[in-house]
Chain A
Amino acid sequence: MTRLFDKTFWGLTIGLVALFALNFLLEEWMRSIGLQSLSRGCVAIGLLVLWRTGLVSFGHALFFGFGAYTVAMLQIIGVNDIILLLIGGCATAGLLALVLGFLLRQYRAIFFALLNMAFSMILYGVLAKVEALGSTDGIGINQVSFFGFVPSDDSYRPTLFIFAVIFAYIAAVGSHWYLKSTLGLMTMAVRENEIRVEYLGYSAEKAIHIKYVLSGVLAGMGGVIMALTIGHVDPDSMVYWTVSGDFVFITILAGTGNVGATFIGALVYELLRTYAFEFAPEIWQLILGGSLLLIIMFLPDGLWSIRSEWRNRRALAAAKSGDAPAGE
């Protein structure tokens, strides 16, 4: 807990290097699944932070869509470098979260969840109606440059993948370190007892507001990656309430134990959806729903709890054999 460079950090770093190496081997459809997992994983980290604070959002497609549409808008005015698009997408989503946060920080539980959804549906309505924003058809996204470098058509997607991996890595490590800071541990404190937080000398609402902005920035980042991955933004695939539902699904699937698990959850979700759609196009929603049901029934703390369960069993077995570990 003391060190910044702990197991999770090294785990994420190994993941980074592994994905760099895999990039050479992946076929394009796999890379596409990878990119979408990285995108949704970023959003789900934001939800994890809120979840640990005891808050669920059913409307984070709002910030996701804001990030994605910012890419489209910036391209219209001629900005086309990935780093500027990323900064722009994160900044606008973060700013929106900052403004809405003044209202949302006053709400908890179902009110918080549904107010987020309400705002996302307002954005959906606006995007679907306004011609200048592409209306229901949306807007196409052009290929971008990478710090001024313009790759050939063949190497465009692998380059995009490398950058997406780096962005997701920064988001994951940054969030992991944040969760170990005083403010990060306040997620637990606010969830458990807001009165105590106030009487320790900090505003619970302010703590929630900061987490909300962080989650907005992360969702904006996810939106930027998704816009560049799909090459198109439209209200249905970026802002509709079911998109928010996907993020909640991933958070439940991954559990809130570890930021790294979020990407595993996102990948599992992506594979589940892709294969369910491919092999059972008539009943793919049924398969997704059934999977969610099984996860909630048997792994209520998500995939990450498989690891904790395995560790508990190992410790118990060691204790029974008289070889109790000293503990970590």
Chain B
Amino acid sequence: MAHVLEVYDLEKNFGGVVAAHNINVTVDEGETIGIIGANGAGKTTFVNMVTGYLPPSGGRIEFLGKSVVGLHPRDVTKRGLCRSFQVPQVFLSESIFDNMLVAYGIAERSGLGLFTPIHTDERAARVDAHLKRYQIEDYRDVAASALPQGVRKLLDIAMATVRNPKLIMLDEPTSGISVEEKFGLMDIIMEALRQEDTTVMFIEHDMEIVERFVDRVWAFYQGEIICDAPTAEAMVDEKVREFVIGQEYHPAHLEGGAHA
């Protein structure tokens, strides 16, 4: 299977603080990767480097075989590598529909085309279909500032997928969401992304979510990846248990797969 993302010897220092060290990973098409680790372990820094928000101090990042180091986030986005945010980055004063309309407008137009009217019937239909895929069509005309957190998260991810990316990195898609709603939210996200044929990586603190949705886990600790293994293996890895998930956590697959 083709590598979608390849990272070699990635380094990042903020002065004397090491935020990434010796990171070597690959992502295959169709895989679902879960990134775990305590706060400050370097997860978001990694996502920021891959998506062009932060320049790495060293190493290589290749997306679909081509280097993305030194590119702006907008150029990385155009190549088909998109991201969502822990705190949803949406246009708060505008309705969901207008948020998506702008997202589609920017994705579908360039050059002089940007001067053409943003609102066309065809584009509105695409926006509505997209909202339906993420099951937020009921909130179509509600301002983003008035949305429940879960819906705003879905909008953030929906906006990140207007270009039909090859790979999407989700930064804590379930943070701020109640325990009861987490699985439902992830079901919606993963089903939509499956329909869009997008490879997924996401940062997550909830191990039940990781176990249910992830094929492979990367465990970050102090800027390094201490484990890169299939989920079931990672959950029983000694280092992962010691530094990330805690010894008291009982993996679902050992208990008969509570959520499997």
Q: Is the CB of A201 within 8 A of B106?
A: yes
Partner of A2 from the list B82, B89, B98, B120 (CB cut-off 8 Å) is B120
Tell which of B78, B93, B118, B160 touches A182, judged by Cβ atoms closer than 8 Å.
Answer: B118
- Given A4, A192, A201, which contacts B74 in the complex, CB threshold below 8 Å? A201
Q: Chain B residues near A193: list those with CB within 8 A.
A: 89-92
Q: With A197-B106, A200-B102, A203-B74 in contact, do A184 and B91 touch (Cβ < 8 Å)?
A: no
CB proximity of B252 to chain A, nearest CB, Å:
34
The contact string, 1 if C-beta is below 8 Å from chain B, for chain A 168-190, is 00000000011011111110110
| A182, B109: Cβ atoms closer than 8 Å | yes
With A201-B74, A201-B163: A181-B94 Cβ-Cβ less than 8 Å = no
Which of B78, B92, B98, B114 counts the most A-chain CB atoms under 10 A from its CB? B114
Asked whether B114 lies within 8 Å of A183 as measured between CB atoms, the reply is: yes
Distance in angstroms from A200 CB to nearest chain B CB is 4
Once the chains bind, are B117 and A192 in contact (CB under 8 Å)?
no
Q: How far is the CA of A90 from the CA of B124 in the complex (A)?
A: 36
> Could you tell me which residues of chain B, from 59 to 96, have a CB within 8 Å of some CB in chain A?
72-74, 77-78, 82-83, 85, 89-94
Q: Does B159 make an interface contact (CB < 8 A)? A: yes
Q: Does B131 contact A (CB under 8 A)?
A: no
Measured between beta carbons, the chain A residues less than 8 angstroms from B91 are 188-189, 192-193, 196
Interface size of A in residues (CB-CB distance below 8 Å): 25
Q: Give the distance in Å from the alpha carbon of A199 to the alpha carbon of B81 in the complex.
A: 10
Cβ-defined partner of B102 (8 Å) among A4, A180, A189, A195: A189
On chain B, the residues within 8 Å of A201 by CB distance are 74, 77-78, 106-107, 163
Distance, CA A195 to CA B77, complexed state (A): 12
Distance in Å: Cβ of A34 to nearest Cβ of chain B = 30
> In the docked arrangement, what's the CA distance between A266 and B94, Å?
29
- Interface band, chain B: 35 or more
Instruction: Enumerate A7-45 residues with CB–CB distance to B below 8 Å.
Output: none
- From A182, which residue of chain B is reached at the shortest CB distance? B105
Contact of B116 among A181, A198, A200 (CB under 8 A): A181
Contact A196 B115 (CB under 8 A): no
Q: B159 near A196 (CB under 8 angstroms)?
A: yes
Chain A nearest CB, measured from B178 CB (Å): 25
Instruction: Answer whether residue B170 sits at the interface, using C-beta atoms and an 8 A cutoff.
Output: no
A1 proximal to B (CB < 8 A):
yes
Q: B74–A198 contact, CB under 8 A? A: yes
CB A230 to nearest CB in B, in angstroms, measures: 34
Q: Is the CB–CB distance between A199 and B74 below 8 Å?
A: yes
Given known contacts A182-B114, A189-B102, A199 and B90 CB-to-CB distance under 8 angstroms: no
Please tell me which one of the listed residues B77, B92, B98, B117 contacts residue A181 in the complex, with CB atoms under 8 A apart.
B117
Q: Is A202 an interface residue (CB 8 A)?
A: yes
| A residues 187-221 touching B (CB-CB < 8 Å) | 188-189, 192-193, 195-203
A180 & B89 in contact (Cβ 8 Å cutoff):
no
Assess whether A181 is in contact with B89, with CB atoms less than 8 Å apart. no
Inter-chain contact B77/A180, CB cutoff 8 Å: no
A197→B103 CA distance, assembly (Å): 8
B97 to chain A, nearest CB (A): 10
Q: Are A199 and B102 in contact (CB under 8 A)?
A: no
Q: Are B102 and A185 in contact (CB under 8 A)?
A: yes
Distance from B211 Cβ to chain A, minimum over Cβ atoms (Å): 29
Min Cβ gap A52→B in Å is 11
Q: Which of A178, A185, A196, A203 is in CB contact (< 8 Å) with B90?
A: A196
Residues of A within 8 A of B93 (CB): 188, 192
- In the complex the two chains form, is A199's CB within 8 Å of B160's CB? yes
For B219, the chain A residues whose CB sits under 8 A away are none
Contact A185 B105 (CB under 8 A): yes
Min CB distance, A182 to chain B, in Å? 4
Closest A residue by C-beta to B51: A199
Q: Which of B73, B94, B162 contacts A198 (CB 8 A)?
A: B73
- Whether A192 contacts B106 by the Cβ 8 Å rule is no
CA distance A201 to B164 in the complex (A): 13
Bound complex: CA of A5 vs CA of B81, how far in Å? 38
Contact of B167 with A by CB under 8 A: no
The residue on A at minimum CB distance from B103 is A200
Is there an interface contact between B51 and A203, defined as CB atoms closer than 8 Å? Answer: no
Task: Tell me which of A180, A188, A196 has the highest count of chain B C-beta atoms within 10 A of its own C-beta.
Answer: A196
Using Cβ atoms and an 8 Å threshold, which residues of chain B touch A189?
A: 91, 102, 106
Given A180-B118, A185-B118, A192-B91: A199 and B82 within 8 A (CB)?
Answer: yes
Task: Among B73, B101, B102, B119, find the residue whose CB has the most chain A CB atoms closer than 10 A.
Answer: B102
- Chain B residues, Cβ within 8 Å of A188: 91, 93-94, 102
Q: Chain B: which residue is nearest A197 at the CB level?
A: B106
- What is the chain B residue whose CB lies nearest that of A1? B119
User: Within the assembled complex, what's the spacing in Å between the Cα atoms of A182 and B207?
Assistant: 41
Residue of A nearest to B120 (CB): A2
Knowing A182-B109, A186-B102, A202-B74 touch, does A192 contact B118 (C-beta < 8 A)? no
Nearest 5 Cβ contacts at the A-B interface: A182-B105, A192-B91, A196-B89, A183-B114, A1-B119
**Measuring CB to CB, which residues of chain A are less than 8 angstroms from any residue of chain B?**
1-2, 4, 177-178, 180-186, 188-189, 192-193, 195-203
Q: What are 7 inter-chain pairs, A to B, with CB distance below 8 A? A: A4-B117, A177-B117, A181-B114, A181-B118, A188-B93, A199-B77, A200-B77
Interface residues of B (CB under 8 A from A): 51, 72-74, 77-78, 82-83, 85, 89-94, 98, 101-103, 105-107, 109, 113-121, 124, 159-160, 162-163
